[in-house]
């Protein structure tokens, strides 16, 4: 009877949990704190983009305007050339990663391939070590090979870093394809090349697009590798952001950070559309 009473009566932690859940004031405070932690830095960034004059101890800018926006988007400004350089390097990195990840992803998606797990783990090696030490040694090698300060050297560094995303996503994309479709195509007389280009590749296209977006964004935001291999001859947006911040030009650095943020948000929406649940379930398998 005593055990029955203990089981039927709520324990102290249940009562405390109900009390916390029933407190709208505490929930509101926690929600406000989370919103401030997430969007507070972004709000400060947006204020700096339109602040022409802002000095301590003023809590808000003393002069507002778009003067620095005009400077940034001037055709002859450093931001415009750095943006074009960043986009060019990102597109070339996507092309290099596609040349490797599409055939590698298709081969690794076959579960009967020998040493399949070992090959997939090899593409994780660049992430297993600190980026700083890896890029310092790469910069030393590239200096001997004459690749320091060149677009080709920066593209190679970005491609090595982006291969992890592209290969693993392509493996998941090809693994999510129904093998019966390719088998039916072969039974009807189609060759392996025709089956790959017209049956397999169109079905894996959404995953390949998602891999391209990941590599593009990773290359667009890459700083450390570009700093050690490309600087000072190659200047991308992250390098320009770093230089502007170190020189105290917070308006230009904030606008540059906002330029880097916008494509990330837009592409994440596209990735959410292309990455199907069955494809996500195949990651790492």
Residue 39 confidence (pLDDT) above 90: no
Same-domain pairing of 34 and 106: no
Same-domain pairing of 158 and 109: yes
For the chain, give the longest Cα–Cα distance.
86
Domain annotation covers residue 3: no
Residue ranges in 9-146 assigned as alpha helix (H): 12-21, 24-49, 67-72, 78-108, 116-122, 125-128, 131-145
Domain annotation covers residue 273: yes
Same-domain pairing of 183 and 200: yes
Residue 270 confidence (pLDDT) above 60: yes
Using pLDDT thresholds of 50, 70 and 90, give the confidence band for residue 256.
Answer: confident
Same-domain pairing of 119 and 56: no
Same-domain pairing of 34 and 131: no
Domain annotation covers residue 5: no
Can you give the CATH number for the domain in which 133 is found? 1.10.3720.10
Same-domain pairing of 149 and 231: yes
Asked whether 97 and 163 are in contact (CB, 8 A), the reply is: yes
Domain annotation covers residue 63: yes
At residue 277, the pLDDT reads 57
Total structural domains within the chain: 2
Domain annotation covers residue 7: no
What value does the mean pLDDT take over residues 109-114? 72
Same-domain pairing of 256 and 226: yes
Gap between the Cα atoms of 191 and 188, Å rounded: 9
One-letter-per-residue 3-state SS of 183-195: HHHHHCCCCHHHH
20 versus 139: the higher-pLDDT residue is 139
74 versus 257: the higher-pLDDT residue is 257
For 177-230, how does the pLDDT look when each residue is reduced to its tens digit (9 = 90+)? 877 887 888 777 778 788 888 888 888 888 888 889 889 988 998 898 899 998
- Burial degree of 119 (CB within 10 A; 0-12, 13-18, 19+): middle
At residue 6, the pLDDT reads 46
Same-domain pairing of 115 and 41: no
Same-domain pairing of 64 and 170: no
For 47-104, how does the pLDDT look when each residue is reduced to its tens digit (9 = 90+)? 888 887 887 777 788 888 888 888 888 777 788 888 899 999 999 999 999 999 999 8
Radius of gyration of the chain (CA): 26
Task: Tell me the residue range of the domain where 56 lies.
Answer: 12-69
At residue 153, the pLDDT reads 92
Same-domain pairing of 187 and 155: yes
At residue 21, the pLDDT reads 54
Domain annotation covers residue 6: no
pTM: predicted TM-score of the whole model, two decimal places? 0.78
Domain annotation covers residue 4: no
Domain annotation covers residue 2: no
Residue ranges in 109-191 assigned as alpha helix (H): 116-122, 125-128, 131-145, 151-175, 179-187
One-letter-per-residue 3-state SS of 101-116: HHHHHHHHCCCCCCCH
Same-domain pairing of 110 and 64: no
Same-domain pairing of 47 and 126: no
């Amino acid at each position: 009877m005593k055990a029955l009473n203990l089981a039927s009566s709520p324990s102290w932690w249940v009562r405390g949990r109900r009390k916390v859940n029933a407190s709208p004031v505490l929930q509101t405070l926690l929600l406000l704190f989370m919103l401030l932690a997430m969007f507070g830095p972004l709000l400060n960034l947006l204020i700096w983009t339109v602040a022409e004059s802002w000095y301590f101890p003023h809590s808000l800018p003393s002069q507002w305007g778009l003067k620095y926006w005009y400077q940034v988007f001037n055709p002859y400004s450093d931001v415009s050339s750095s943006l074009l350089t960043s986009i060019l390097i990102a597109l070339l990195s996507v092309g290099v990663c596609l040349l490797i990840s599409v055939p590698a992803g298709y081969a690794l998606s076959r579960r009967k391939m020998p040493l399949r797990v070992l090959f997939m783990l090899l593409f994780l090696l660049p992430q297993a070590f600190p980026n700083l030490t890896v890029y310092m040694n790469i910069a030393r090698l590239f200096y001997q090979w004459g690749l320091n300060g060149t677009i080709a050297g920066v593209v190679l560094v970005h491609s090595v870093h982006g291969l992890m995303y592209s290969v693993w996503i392509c493996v998941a994309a090809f693994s999510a394809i129904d093998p019966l479709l390719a088998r039916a195509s072969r039974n009807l007389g189609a060759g392996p090349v025709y089956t790959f280009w017209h049956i397999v590749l169109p079905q894996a296209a959404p995953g390949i697009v998602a891999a391209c977006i990941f590599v593009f964004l990773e290359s667009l935001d890459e700083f450390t590798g570009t700093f050690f291999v490309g600087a000072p001859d190659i200047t991308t947006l992250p390098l320009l952001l770093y230089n502007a911040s170190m020189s105290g030009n917070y308006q230009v650095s904030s606008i540059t950070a906002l330029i880097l943020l916008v494509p990330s948000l837009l592409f994440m929406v596209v990735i959410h559309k292309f990455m199907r649940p069955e494809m996500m379930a195949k990651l790492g398998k």
